[in-house]
């Protein structure tokens, strides 16, 4: 579920999304980019998603962050996109810096690479160069990303990664 959050709560779709979950599919809700932490709380309460897309405003609420961590709700973060859309005022203020030490499951994404002129390589570069992530921190982000994927098989098999068939 994605789109502008302000004035467009996810709660009215909870029954339809419950059927999606009953069918064995996983759910992601775009929340906490334009609207405050309450949009993330509503998504968690109404839909129980496996992932939150964007989620930058969740970092305004310490109890919410603890809930995301404890429930292992994955957060997809898009630093360049969040600055370009003004969800975050400056790159240096992006909450991905805070996320590092909180034990959250998170991934790094490009959102719309053509629109925001970024790549996965540039987003990972920001982790190291701007946010102080170590090689070990980056490996944890990569592991979290693989563990949170909805489709267990990878399109390209990478030896030594989750989802790689033995042999």
Q: DSSP for 26-84?
A: --EEEESSSS-HHHHHHHHHHT--SEEEE-GGGGG-HHHHHHHHHTT-EEEE-HHHHHH
Global pTM reads: 0.85
Cross-strand partners of 30: 53
Q: Is the pLDDT of residue 26 over 80?
A: yes
Q: What is the pLDDT of residue 100?
A: 87
Catalytic position from the list 33, 42, 76, 123: 33
Q: What is the pLDDT of residue 157?
A: 65
Locate tokens 């600055």: which residue?
A: 83
Name the phi and psi angles at 101, rounded to 5: -100, 10
Is the confidence at residue 153, as pLDDT, over 90? no
The mean per-residue pLDDT over the stretch 24-37 comes to 93
Pairing of strands 28-31, 51-54: parallel
Q: Is 33 a catalytic residue?
A: yes
On the question of pLDDT at 53 being above 50, the answer is yes
> Has residue 120 got a pLDDT over 50?
yes
Which pLDDT score, from 0 to 100, does residue 167 have?
44
Is 74 in contact with 53 (CB distance < 8 Å)? no
Rounded to whole angstroms, the Cα distance separating 83 from 149 reads: 25
Residues 118, 77: Cα–Cα separation, whole Å? 13
The per-residue pLDDT for 1 is 62
**Residue 161: what pLDDT?**
59
Question: Which tens digit of pLDDT belongs to each residue from 129-143?
Answer: 999 999 999 999 999
Taking a C-beta distance cutoff of 8 angstroms, is the pair 42, 9 a contact? yes
β-bridge mates for residue 76, sequence order:
53, 107
Instruction: Look at 159 and 91; give whichever has higher pLDDT.
Output: 91
**Average pLDDT of the chain?**
89
């Amino acid at each position: 579920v994605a789109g502008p959050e302000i004035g467009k709560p996810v709660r009215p779709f909870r029954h339809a999304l419950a059927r999606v979950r009953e069918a064995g599919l996983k759910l992601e809700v775009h929340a906490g980019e334009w609207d405050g932490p309450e949009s993330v709380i509503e998504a968690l309460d109404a839909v129980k998603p496996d992932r939150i897309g964007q989620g930058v405003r969740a970092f305004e609420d310490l109890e919410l962050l603890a809930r995301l961590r404890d429930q292992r709700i994955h957060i997809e973060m898009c630093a360049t996109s969040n600055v370009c859309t003004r969800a975050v005022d400056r790159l240096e203020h992006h909450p991905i810096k805070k996320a590092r030490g909180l034990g959250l499951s998170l991934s790094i994404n490009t959102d719309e690479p053509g629109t925001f002129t970024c790549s996965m390589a540039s987003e990972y570069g920001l982790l190291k160069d701007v946010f102080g992530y170590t090689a070990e921190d980056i490996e944890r982000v990569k592991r979290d990303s693989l563990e949170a994927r909805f489709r267990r098989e990878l399109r390209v098999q990478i030896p030594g990664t989750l989802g790689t068939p033995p042999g």
